[in-house]
Each structure stands twice: as C-alpha cells, then as structure tokens.
Structure 1
Amino acid sequence: MTMEFLWGERAQPTRGPKPSLTLLQITDAAIAVADAEGLAAVSMQRVSAELGFTKMSLYRYLPGKGELVALMVERAVGEPPRLDPAAWRAALHEWAHGLLTAYLRHPWALEATVGPRPLGPHELAWMEHALTALRDTGLTGAEQLDAIAVLAGHVRMIAQQAAAVRDPDAQFSAGIAAVLAEHGARFPVLAQTMAAAAAEGGQDQAFEFGLDRILDGLQTLITSRRKPRR
C-alpha cells in the first residue's frame, strides 16, 4: 500500500464526497509540523487539525502515519541535483552538499530514514545519480554502492550533530574550549591543538574535510584501477 502512494499509483478517493484535499496538501502540513516540533509530533489527528479537517477524513486519502511519513521523506529530500557524470569527483561533491542541505532543512528526515522501509522515486534517484557518476571509474558494483554508503553516512553524521545543537550558529568546539579553560592542564595536547586550530582559523570544517578525504580515497582507488598492468 505504501509503495502505491510513493510511486503515484494510488488515485484520489472515488467514493463519498468530492475530495477537498490533495496528498500534497496533507504532506506539506505534516512537514510543517515536523519542522517545527519534530517527527514525534506528527499524527493523523494533528495533521488533520492543522488542515481544519477531522482525523477520519484523512483516512480517505492514505491508510495511516506510516504512509504519511514515507510521503514526507519523498517531499523533503526532493529531486537530486543534476550532476555531470563526466566529472565524478565534482559530481559527488555536489551530491553530498545537496543531501546535507536537505537534512539541515528537515532534520526529522534523519530519524525517518533509518531501517528497512519503502523507498520512493526521489530517494532512488539520489542513488541513481551518484552511481551514474561512478559508473565509468573502474570501481566494482559493490565498491560503488559502498562509496555512496560512506558518503551518505558522513552527511548524516554532520547533519545529526547540527540537529542536536539548538543554536545553529553554536559550534561543538566552543563547548570543548569552555571545558579546557578550566581543565586544560589535564589535556595538554588537546588544548595545544585547539589553540593552534583557533589561530589558523581552520576549525569547524569537519564536513568539507571529511568529504575531501573520502573523495581523495576514492581518487586513489580509481587511479590504481586505471593503471596499466605490467
């Protein structure tokens, strides 16, 4: 049933009064609730109230919250950016940034995309575009899938850290610095490294640093595959 909704195979209700809502309206209302209060706040009761309808009226459009969350994820991640498959590294760099932007815009999507679940066309399109960029690199199919998994994992880790911080402008390093101000003598190497990073102005670049290192590793592997065998 969920797959029918995700893939546009379920028509609008044909029985009863003429439909007053669309799945898009319902999905957007649910996303607004999740953006403001988190995924746990989303329920058929809450969403119907936001739309000015009864809870039972929503069941004319979809069976329950599971289907609603699946539609929310599809709407939240959206379509992937158009990538240049001829430049795999630039393509994956843009891909990772696009995915991070989606998660930062809708942090609840991190929770909604864990574990086995139905996948919709948008989510599969993200995979399709990334794999297309790696198609002619010489990596095996398993390596290509693993590469995308590593990239997605890096994106999710950074997005989860950002979502855990109430003030988006606050940085994790600031909390460490506050502790080191009193206990720096117990952690001299950490204190020295933090001071050096602050002087260099290179702090809080974990996303770019990690992304570049992942791509560097892929570059090394791809280059080794392309070397002629003796």
Structure 2
Amino acid sequence: MRAEKRDAVTGAPGTDGVLDLLWRREAPPRRGPKPRFTIDGVVAAATAIADAGGLDAVSMQSVAERLGTTKMALYRYVPGRVELDALMLDAALGDPPPAAGRDWRAALTGWAGSVHARALDRPWSVELAQRPHLPGPVELAWFEVGLAAFGDLPLTGAEKLDTLALLAGHAMSLVRQQPRGATPEADLAAGLAPVLAERADGYPLTVAAFAATDPAGRDDALRFGVGRVVAGVAALVDERR
C-alpha cells in the first residue's frame, strides 16, 4: 500500500502533489518509453465513469481498466485518489460564464444560477466541491468572476468570499436534493398527504404551510435562497453607505 504524505498540522493529505497536477507544474523528465496517456486523458476516463455510475464507481482500478492499462501504470500520471478527485472537480466545473451585466445583484444571481446549472450537469461534483480542498485554476476562475460582480461595493474581501460561499453552498446543496427533472416540494407534499390527512391535529402548522403553498410557486428554492442572500448584502451595503 502506498504511503500518503500528510500535513503536519492538519493531518490532511499533503498538497504539493495536488498543486503540481492542478497547475501542470513541469515534472523532471523521466527515462523510459514515451507515456501512453496524458493527465487530461486519465481525468476524462474518470469523469466518464462518474457520469455513468457516480463517484463511488471511480477508483484507480476502474480508471486503469477503462484506459486498458494497469493500476500501477496509472500512478505514473496521477499519484492517487486525492489528486484524481482534485483534477476531476476542476474539469467538472468547466470555465465560468462571463459576468451577467453591470448590476451587481443580477451578476451575483446569474453567477449562483451558473454554479447550480454546472453542478446539475455533474451531480457527483458536489461531493468533491464540498470537501475541504485547494481550489484549482478553473475554480479560481469562478472566484474571479464572482468577485468581479461586487464592483466597488463597501465590503471586505472576507465578506465577498463569504457571500460567494453562501451562494455556491445553497446552489450545490439543492443539486443533492433536486436531481434533474425532480420536483422535491411537490413530491414531498404528495408523499406526506396521506399521513398529514390522518394526523392533521398533530402537525397543524405543517398542514397549513403545505395548504397555503401555490403549486405554481413550488420548487423554486434556488431563486428564493439566492434572492435572500443578495437582499441581505444589499441591506448591508445600504447601511454602510
């Protein structure tokens, strides 16, 4: 079993190898035959496996089999699963779209919507994104676009980053609850209907909440949550100005 370097303070896997791969830092040339594969090719194979069977289907062995090589040979390109996960996440995010318009509210709303749409295309990426990790070049490009949306608002760097974290966290958490084509609120209401009908006296507030919900307005948690975060930032900006 391969030994894994860990950070002396946090105990987390070491980051040097991850950074080298994410940023494609040049490695010393090796003797021997020319490599059969590339790092991008290995990541593409792992991504195809995740798209078909989810993140649990990805292993160094399954990637090696897809490429028609051995697990040991794969270590020549990617040292282990930690590095592979980092590369997969950066590839799954893809380049961010340009900022939407000059209005910071619309720009942040559009940014959050883009995060949600990209995660919805590859739901398995949400688990990778929500683990502690170092952002790669593509993820940092998303930061740049998101931070540009704030313009000259009187916010600290930490407040801007926290706002992006709130928006991205909300957008990605909904992907886990809301697979493509699902209607979670409507499905929940339909599933609970028999129980609530029998035990309405025990859960009067829940019954009333579902009854008062307009079916046409359900399953819009993304818009609602993003709107509240943006409104909170606007209130803070007004207060400071």
| TM-score category of the 2 structures, normalised to the smaller one | 0.7 to 0.9
Name the counterpart of 1:171: 184
Q: Which amino acid aligns with 1:55?
A: K
Aligned match of 1:181: 194
Structure 2 residue aligned with 1:220: 235
- Structure 1 residues 71 and 10: alpha-carbon distance in aligned structure 2, compared to 1, 3 A threshold: farther
Matched-pair contact (CA < 8 Å) for 1:13–1:61: no
Select which of 16, 20, 42 maps to 1:4.
Answer: 20
Distance in 2 (CA, whole Å) between partners of 1:198 and 1:19 is 59
Structure 2 residue identity aligned to 1:81 = P
> Which deviations, in whole Å up to 9, do the C-alpha atoms of 1:87-141 show, x marking residues without a partner?
2111111110111112111112122123432321111111122112214011122
1:160 lines up with 2:176 in the alignment: yes
Contact 1:91–1:133 under 8 Å retained in 2 = yes
Q: Residue 156 of structure 2 aligns to which amino acid in structure 1? A: T
* Residue 218 (structure 2) aligns with: 203
Counterparts in 2 of 1:56-205, with a 5 A limit? 56-84=72-100, 86-163=102-179, 168-184=181-197, 185-186=200-201, 187-198=203-214, 201-205=216-220
Distance 1:191 1:48 in 2: 53
Change (3 A) 1:179 1:11: same
| 8 Å contact from structure 1 (residues 6, 120) kept in 2 | yes
Identity over aligned residues, as a percent? 42
In 1: Cα distance, 2:83 partner to 2:187 partner: 40
Q: Which amino acid aligns with 2:148?
A: T
Which is helix-richer, 1 or 2? 1
Partner amino acid, structure 2, of 1:214: V
Map of 1:22 onto structure 2: 38
Report the aligned-residue RMSD: 2.1
Match of 1:31 among 44, 47, 72: 47
State the distance in 2 between where 1:153 and 1:31 align. Answer: 22
Cα deviation for residue 151 of structure 1 reads 1.1
Structure 1 stretches of at least 4 aligned residues deviating more than 4 Å after TM superposition: none
Q: What is the Cα deviation at residue 84 of structure 1?
A: 4.9
